[in-house]
Structures are given as structure tokens and as C-alpha cells.
């Protein structure tokens, strides 16, 4: 049973339950790899939201799915999130960096990491079980079937918690961030599963920070600024790259070339100085070189959360801040969520 995942559209706040006909059911928003898992006897497939199947990267999950569902006699299809947790007992949280390391081309490396940093799977929908295809059922009915199935779950398989209480969901938005989760999802209770459609609602954390422009990459078209590299000053007085800003319009990215030219670092012959950017396992072969900028221009950006000392996702440009001194843009301005044990979210 091949099926595209149902998607979510972003909203600014956790919506009231009566804002959608039939009401809403709320869940924590997990920060991992979306996966639709099909178990049919000994055959296990973990499909991703994109074109890259995840099956080969998580042999420990394949083994768990096969052990727990392989003998049922009918296919089981689950929608959920592949996650990875780390930390001492009582202080666990989601570990995106360790999870991203699991996408590796070498089979030997995959086998090693599957033992050293095993992943988990959190199910939040059930699309087929016991010979029934469930996609046309209302979500509340699918959830009831998932809860019945999850009675047999054992680590590394979990079922997400859920609530009908909007105040509880709003509390999760703040509390669960300390365990590495990145928001709340609201799902229409009476709607069928709608593959590829943004039928769910998601609320993520949004904050602002003043950062320093330290470089830019040329757009893939060869014209204009594709992305700005931004940094923050550490306690040692050195500026460190913390992320990037992109999604400029064609007109804006062309204008940025002229706006940034006064702070482009140039060599003795007047040519722009370039640097080599960090490569990514998700974009191997992509040119990551960038034009260096003197750390003088300050901009305000909107972000959701940090992963270590970097922005977890690409940040959004808000405005230039000519009133700020670049050296005043440090890590101390960033909001740090209170710690929360991930095991309490999974339980």
C-alpha cells in the first residue's frame, strides 16, 4: 500500500477546537524524519516524505517492526516519525544531529550507528490493519484503532500522546520544547486521511534574534544572492556561523548584490574573497562556497529553535538593524527553553 503522507499547514497559534467543523484533536509535533511504514509479513518498508526511502538506514527499526507485526497475517501501515533520543536517564531529549548522521551511504557505517545510536518510531496514525484499509475513516476512529494496536508496542516503537483539551495542547507547546519537540499539531477529528493535502494544522515556535551577515552564496541560477550566512559572537569575541537566510524574491536577491557590495571582503586585486562552506549529506555535490562579508551588517531574523549553537532550520529575514553594533549580537540574546525529559513525553 503506497500512500503519500498527509501534510500540515502552519498557523500562528494553537487553534480552538471549534474553529474546524467536527473539532480538533491535538498532538505534540515530533522533530524527526516523517515515515510511512508498511509491514507485510517479513517485508518492511519505511517510506519518507521525500523521494528517499529510509528503510536501509534504520535496520534496527526494520527488525522491530518485523518482530512486532510480521506475523499478523495482514499488512500494517503506520504513519509516524523516526526519532532519536539521547541524554542521561531523566534528562533525555530528541537529538536531531545524531539522527541526521544516520543517513550515510556506507552499509558498514549504517550497521555501526544502528547499534551505537539506535532510533525510535513514534506512530500517530494507522492507515491499514487486520485486512482493513482505514484511510477513509474519520481520524478519531483511526486513532482508536491505533491505540488498540499500540497495546502490543514495545521500545523502540511508541504511540504519540493526544488530547482534546486545547489548554493542555498550549501547555505542550512550551513544556515539550525542553525535550526537543518543535510544536503542536491539530488534526480534524472527523476527516478522512488525505494524502498529499495540508489538512492538518501545525504551530511551531517562532522567535527573533539579531544576527550578523558574514557571507552569501550565489543563487543556483547564477544571478543574485541565494542565501545569506549569518553569525553570532561568542564569549571569545569571535563570530561563529549559526545558520542561513534564504527564500528571497528574484528582484530582492538581485538587489542584495549591490546592497552587500560595500562589505564584501576583497583581496589586494579587488576580487571578492570566498570561503568553503559546510557540506551536507542531504545535498552531496552541491557547491557550498560563499562570498565573505565583513561582519558589520546586522539583521533581525525569525527562527523556531536551536540545535546546539546553530539554528535548527533556515531562518526568515525580518528587517535590517542599522541601529545595532555587530559585536553586540551574541548568543546571550537567545531564549533557552526549560529542560524537560523526553521519556515523560513518550510515556
User: Active-site residue numbers?
Assistant: 29
Residue recorded with cell 537529538: 95
Angle at 34 between CA 29 and CA 40, to 5 degrees: 125
Rounded Cα gap, residues 106 and 87, in angstroms: 26
Nearest to 153 by CA among 115, 182, 124: 124
Q: Which residues of 114-151 are buried (b: 16+ CB within 10 A; e: fewer)?
A: beebbbbbbbbbbbbbeeeebbebbbbebbebbeebee
Give the H/E segment covering residue 139: helix 139-150
Rounded Cα gap, residues 208 and 279, in angstroms: 26
Please tell me whether residue 108 adopts helix, strand or coil conformation. Answer: helix
Contact criterion met (CB below 8 Å) for 345 and 158: no
Residue 235 grid coordinates: 564569549
Nearest to 203 by CA among 239, 170, 178, 154: 170
Amino acid at each position: 500500500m503506497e500512500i503519500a503522507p498527509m501534510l500540515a499547514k502552519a498557523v500562528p497559534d494553537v487553534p480552538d477546537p471549534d474553529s474546524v467543523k467536527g473539532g480538533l484533536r491535538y498532538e505534540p509535533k515530533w522533530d524527526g524524519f516523517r515515515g510511512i511504514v508498511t509491514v507485510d509479513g517479513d517485508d518492511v518498508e519505511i517510506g519518507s516524505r521525500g523521494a528517499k526511502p529510509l528503510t536501509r538506514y534504520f535496520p534496527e527499526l526494520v527488525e522491530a517492526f518485523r518482530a512486532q507485526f510480521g506475523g499478523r497475517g495482514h499488512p500494517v501501515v503506520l504513519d509516524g516519525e523516526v526519532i532519536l533520543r539521547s541524554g542521561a536517564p531523566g534528562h533525555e531529549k530528541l537529538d536531531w544531529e545524531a539522527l541526521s548522521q544516520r543517513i550515510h551511504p556506507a552499509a558498514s557505517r549504517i550497521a555501526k550507528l544502528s547499534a551505537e545510536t539506535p532510533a525510535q518510531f513514534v506512530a500517530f496514525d494507522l492507515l491499514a490493519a487486520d485486512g482493513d484499509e482505514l484511510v477513509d475513516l474519520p481520524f478519531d476512529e483511526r486513532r482508536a484503532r491505533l491505540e488498540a494496536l499500540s497495546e502490543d508496542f514495545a521500545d523502540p516503537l511508541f504511540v504519540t500522546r493526544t488530547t482534546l483539551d486545547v489548554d493542555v495542547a498550549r501547555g505542550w507547546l512550551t513544556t515539550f520544547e525542553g525535550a526537543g519537540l518543535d510544536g503542536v499539531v491539530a488534526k480534524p477529528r472527523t476527516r478522512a486521511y488525505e494524502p498529499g493535502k495540508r489538512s492538518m494544522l501545525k504551530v511551531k515556535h517562532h522567535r527573533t534574534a539579531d544576527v550578523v551577515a558574514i557571507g552569501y552564496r550565489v543563487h543556483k541560477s547564477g544571478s543574485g544572492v541565494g542565501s545569506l550566512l549569518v553569525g553570532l559572537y561568542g564569549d571569545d569575541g569571535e563570530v561563529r556561523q549559526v545558520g542561513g537566510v534564504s527564500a528571497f524574491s528574484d528582484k530582492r536577491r538581485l538587489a542584495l548584490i549591490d546592497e552587500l557590495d560595500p562589505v564584501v571582503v576583497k583581496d589586494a586585486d579587488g576580487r571578492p574573497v570566498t570561503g568553503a562552506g559546510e557540506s551536507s549529506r542531504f545535498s552531496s555535490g552541491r557547491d557550498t562556497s560563499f562570498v565573505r562579508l565583513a561582519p558589520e551588517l546586522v539583521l533581525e531574523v525569525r527562527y523556531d529553535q536551536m540545535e546546539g549553537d546553530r539554528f535548527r532550520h533556515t531562518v526568515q529575514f525580518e528587517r535590517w538593524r542599522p541601529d545595532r553594533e555587530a559585536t553586540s549580537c551574541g548568543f546571550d540574546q537567545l531564549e533557552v527553553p526549560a529542560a524537560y525529559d523526553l521519556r515523560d513525553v513518550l510515556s
